[in-house]
Amino acid sequence: QRVALARALAPAPRLLLLDEPLSALDRALREQLATDVRTILRQGGTTALYVTHDQDEAMTVGDRVGVMEAGRLLRLDTPQRLWADPGSSKVARFLGFDVVGELALAPGALRVVEEAVGEPELRGGSAQTEMPATPETLPATVLASRLRRGQWEVEVELDPDQLAEPAGPAGKAGVGTDAAAARESARATALTQRPHTPGAHVTLSLDLARTAHL
């Protein structure tokens, strides 16, 4: 693949089409070559159309990144603006946002409204009054720890009593939720500075800088 890339770049084409050029490589080599390809393209002033299913690779190589589904272009923007404003739930999920849904803000709580339709609405006041700059922490119990791309993550289980009951499409409280579904909805993945043993008690807080309003 390195030879194929070199042969494609050697004639200094004005437009270069690259379709999954690094897909068969291991992650470390793929990350290094993605950086090299970007440097070579910029130094040569070569325009490239680069197709990949790897979000990190796209963000590394591209000056502008387009997200497509079934032949339709859902979003096209710079990597920075794409992360800050995915524009739709489909794009947000593709980029790796873990929780996507309509949010209802209430004193001391942030609630995900399942299967909601339409624009998010603020209930009980404005975001400034109901969502403090430093959100309150939530107690949780660690289920597992894992190292992912150099960052420690913990899978945790929250106390269901700490969470507001999900609302249905009409904004009414859901009914018929069984215990298994309640336990599943009380699980989350959080970033941490170090691994924690299963069963450890931790507290979670919301980093507002890592949220996006769709």
Query: Looking at the domain assignment, is residue 45 inside a domain?
Result: yes
Select the more confidently predicted residue: 2 or 177.
2
211: Cβ–Cβ under 8 A, 6 or more apart, which residues?
none
Q: Point out which residues pair with 156 in neighbouring strands.
A: 142, 188
The strand pair at 72-77 and 138-148 is best described as: unpaired
Burial 168-207 (b: 16+ CB within 10 A, else e): eeeeeeeeeeeeeeeeebbebebeeeeebeeeeeeebebe
What does the pLDDT read at residue 47? 94
Whole-prediction pTM: 0.56
* Helix ranges restricted to H, 45-147: 55-61, 79-84, 89-95, 127-130
Q: Is the pLDDT of residue 213 over 80?
A: no
Task: Detail the DSSP E strand segments found in 125-213.
Answer: 138-148, 151-158, 187-192, 201-204
Domain with 74 in it: 1-95
Q: How many domains does the chain have?
A: 2
Q: Which two tokens stand for residue 204?
A: 């979670």
Residue 77: inside a domain: yes
- How far is residue 92's CA from residue 201's CA, in Å, rounded to a whole number? 30
Q: Which domain CATH number covers 31? A: 3.40.50.300
17 and 90 share a domain?
yes
User: 214 near 94, Cβ under 8 Å?
Assistant: no
Residue 62: name the closest of 119, 18, 1 by CA.
18
At residue 148, does pLDDT exceed 80? Answer: no
Same domain, 104 and 189: yes
Question: Shortest CA distance to 146 belongs to which of 109, 195, 189, 80?
Answer: 195
Whether 149 shows a pLDDT value over 50: the answer reads yes
Residue 184 lies in a domain: yes
Report pLDDT digits (tens) over 119-141: 444 444 433 323 333 456 788 89
Specify the CATH number for the domain of residue 192: 2.40.50.140
